[in-house]
Amino acid sequence: MRNTAVLLVIVGACLANSIDQDAVPLWRQALFVVLAVAGYLHGRHLPVRHGWVVFALAAVPGVVDLAVYPGRAVGLLGLLAVFVGLPWLAGRFRRQQAELVESGRQRVAQLEREQEFVAERARLRERTRIASDMHDALGNALALIALRAGSLELAADMTEENRRAAAALRATAVAATDRLRQTIGLLREGPERSLEPPDEPVEALVDRARAAGMDVELVRSGAPLAVPSAVDRAAHRVVQEALTNAARYAPGAHVTVRLERSARELLVVVHNTEVDTEPMLTGSGTGLVALAERVGLLGGTFHAEPGEGFTVTARLPCPAGSGRPTEGESR
C-alpha cells in the first residue's frame, strides 16, 4: 500500500506539472527529469502489484479532456507516458531481471546442496555395506577361531603351558570380535543391503565350521543351482550369521542346518540346541536385523526365536525353474 501511495504521488506530480504547457519555466522542466528518475527508482526498488491501475486512473482526466481540448490532452498523456510511464516500466523490467538472476543463483545453490546430499547418502550407504560385510565375514571367522581355541583349551592331552596359550588365543579372538562389533556400530547407518557374499556353496561354509570344532549337520533337499542366484546368496548369508551366533552364544551346541528347495521357495532353517556353558561373546543383534532386511528385500520372511535352543528360519521365494526337489541328503 505504501509503494502504491508513492507511485500515486509521482504520477500526480507529473500531471500537475503538465498543466499550462504554454509557458514552462526551467525549474518545471527540471522537475520532469526528477520525476523520470523517481519513476525509474520506484519501478526498480518498490514493487507494486497493480501499478497499471494507477496509470489508468491518472490517464482518465486526459482521456476526458480529449473531447474539449485535444491538444492539451495529448500533451498531458504524452508527458505522463514519457517522463513517468516509460521510466517506471524500465525500472520494473530491471527489477524482474535481477529477481530472475537471483532465482537462478538460488537454484544453482540448491542443486549443489542436493548433489552434496546425494553424495553423502552414497558414502553412508557404502559405509553400511562395508560394515555388514565385515560383520558377516570377519565375525564368522573370529567366532570360529575362538571356538577352536576353546576346544584346544579343554583338550585332555594339552600341557598347562599350551592350555594357557590356547586361553590367551581365545581371549584375543573374543576381544578382536568385540572391537570389530564396536567399529561396525560406528559404521552402520541402519539395516541396508550388504555386499554380496562370494559364490560359495553352503556345504563349504558348514565344512569350515565343522573343521573349527562345531558340531554341525547339514540336511539338504532339492538340487542347488549351477550358478548361484540372489536367493542362494541370501541363504548363504543366513547360514553364515546363524553359525556365527551359535559359536558365540551356544559353544558346544549341536547345530542343524536344513535347506529345502522347492519349485516356489527355498526354506532355510538353522537350529542349535541348548547348552549350559556361558556364551563366549555378547552382541547387539544387529546381524539378525540386517538379515531380516535382506530377506525382506527379496520378498521373503525371516524369523529368529528361542525355543529348546535357538532357531533361525528364512523363507525365500525362488524364481521359476530354479530347481526341482530331489531326495534329501544328510551330511
Domain count of the chain?
A: 2
Query: CA nearest 231: which of 191, 192, 267, 271?
Result: 267
- Percent of the chain at pLDDT > 70 equals 71
Long-range contacts of 1-5 (CB under 8 A, 24+ apart): 3/42, 3/46, 3/47, 3/48, 4/48, 4/50, 4/51, 4/54
The whole-angstrom separation of Cα 199 and Cα 148 is 25
| Domain-terminating residue out of 77, 109, 141 | 109
Q: 177 falls in which pLDDT band (50, 70, 90)? A: low
pTM of the shown model: 0.46
What's the N-to-C CA distance of the chain in angstroms?
Answer: 89
159: in domain = no
| Domain-terminating residue out of 89, 109, 129 | 109
Residues 101 and 221 in one domain: no
209: in domain = yes
Question: From the CB of residue 147, how many other CB atoms can be counted at a distance below 10 Å?
Answer: 23
pLDDT in tens, 99-153: 999 999 999 988 888 888 888 887 777 777 766 666 666 766 777 777 777 777 6
User: Mean pLDDT of all residues in the chain?
Assistant: 76
Mean predicted confidence (pLDDT) in 86-97: 89
For residue 254, give the H/E element and its range.
Answer: strand 254-261
pLDDT in tens, 236-251: 889 988 888 888 788 8
Residue 215 CB-density burial (10 A; 0-12 exposed, 13-18 middle, 19+ buried): middle
User: Which pLDDT score, from 0 to 100, does residue 257 have?
Assistant: 94
218: in domain = yes
Residues 331 and 207 in one domain: yes
Place of cell 540372489: 230
166: in domain = no
| Domain-terminating residue out of 109, 135, 151 | 109
124: in domain = no
The domain in which residue 240 lies consists of 196-331
Query: CA nearest 37: which of 70, 86, 4?
Result: 86
122: in domain = no
242: in domain = yes
Domain harbouring 289, CATH code: 3.30.565.10
26: in domain = yes
Residues 103 and 215 in one domain: no
